[in-house]
Every structure is written in structure tokens, then in C-alpha cells.
């Protein structure tokens, strides 16, 4: 008996030999970002670089501006030139200062853009206009080191919700990193 199926890896139709009346089953299980990138084409990354960050400054800002989708934060990698403590805040207010960033779609074949307001601090021009609504997490980064916020898709931003990284404590120095995220229809 022949079994016809779609190959999930290649997207092509394939055929396999079946057994005598037995059900042959296989499955593939990947994380939600994989399927979101493949099927919805709404998975993004953004890289930021705050040169000469000063303790107490907001260095990175991200706001979900979508009216239909939640923005889910997957993970973030952080680097610092000097020993530093970084805080991840839920924030309110209107971000100003620094420079505008455009998140990049991780599905290179997609032309979909992120519905987000995103900024990075610049040397002598930190992000201003924000008030912390609470600290979600913090991490210490050694000079020249790399640390990750392993958020595991637990931070969900609804319409107009926002987060920001604060270069909380440390000698003035460069603070840079990357954030991975995807959009999912609001429940």
C-alpha cells in the first residue's frame, strides 16, 4: 500500500510504502517562532548599539503598535564593553531621543514589516520620556561579555505596550544586543 504525504521540510509531495493495515505516523515539533516565520512570515529581530551608555539611561525601546496582534518576545542577547547591570522594564510614556530602528523580518522571502516603534540610544543621546511600570528581569554582564534574557516567549505586548532596556549600573561604555520576537493574533 502506498501512502502519499506532504514533506514538511521540503514542502513537496512524497510517497512511502505502507504496512499491511497498520497506521504509520510521524511528526515534527518545532517552536512557535519557527512555524510563525514559515507560515505567517511575522517573526523579527532587531539589533541595537548604544555607544557610550551611561548608568541610568534607557538604551533600547520597543513598543507594539499592532491593533490586531500581540508582540511576543522570544529571547535577547546582551553585550557590554564594561561590567554592567542591565534591567528590562515594562514602560509607559512617549519615547524620544536616540535613533529609530527598523526590525528585520527573519523570513528573508517576506516583505511584511513589524508593527512597532523601536529606538536605540546614541552616544550622548539616550532614550527619554519613559517611566518604568515595573522591572521584568535584570542581568549582570561582565566586561566584554555576553548574557541572555531567556524569556522563552513569556513576555507578550498588547497594543501600545512597551519594554525598554536600562543600562542600570556600570562604567560608561558601549551596550549592544539583539532581540528576537514574533507577532501572534490577540486572543
* DSSP symbol at 143: T
- What is the pTM for the complete model shown? 0.83
DSSP annotation string for 93-139: EEEESSEE--PEESSTT------EEEEE-BTTB-BEEEEEEEEEEEE
Which pLDDT score is estimated for 141? 96
Residues 129-135: what's their mean pLDDT? Answer: 97
Residues 155-183: what's their mean pLDDT? Answer: 95
Which pLDDT score is estimated for 156? 93
Per-residue pLDDT tens digits for 57-77: 999 999 999 999 999 999 999
Contact 169, 141 (CB under 8 A): no
Q: Is the pLDDT of residue 178 over 70?
A: yes
The angle at the Cα of 94, spanning 126 to 54, to the nearest 5 degrees, equals 15
Contact 130, 59 (CB under 8 A): no
Per-residue pLDDT tens digits for 96-113: 999 999 999 999 989 999
Amino acid at each position: 500500500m502506498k501512502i502519499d504525504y506532504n514533506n514538511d521540510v521540503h514542502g513537496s509531495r512524497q510517497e512511502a510504502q505502507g504496512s499491511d493495515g497498520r497506521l504509520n505516523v510521524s511528526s515534527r515539533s518545532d517552536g512557535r517562532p519557527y512555524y510563525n516565520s514559515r507560515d505567517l512570515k511575522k517573526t523579527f529581530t532587531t539589533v541595537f548599539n548604544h555607544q557610550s551608555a551611561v548608568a541610568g539611561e534607557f538604551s533600547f525601546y520597543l513598543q507594539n503598535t499592532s491593533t490586531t496582534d500581540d508582540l511576543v518576545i522570544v529571547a535577547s542577547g546582551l553585550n557590554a564593553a564594561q561590567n554592567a547591570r542591565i534591567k528590562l522594564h515594562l514602560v509607559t510614556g512617549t519615547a524620544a531621543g536616540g535613533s529609530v530602528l527598523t526590525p528585520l523580518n527573519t523570513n528573508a522571502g517576506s516583505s511584511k514589516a513589524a508593527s512597532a516603534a523601536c529606538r536605540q540610544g546614541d552616544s550622548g543621546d539616550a532614550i527619554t520620556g519613559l517611566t518604568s511600570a515595573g522591572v521584568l528581569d535584570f542581568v549582570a554582564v561582565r566586561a566584554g561579555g555576553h548574557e541572555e534574557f531567556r524569556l522563552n516567549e513569556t513576555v507578550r505586548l498588547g497594543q501600545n505596550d512597551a519594554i525598554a532596556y536600562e543600562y542600570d549600573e556600570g562604567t560608561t561604555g558601549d551596550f549592544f544586543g539583539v532581540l528576537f520576537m514574533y507577532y501572534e493574533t490577540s486572543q
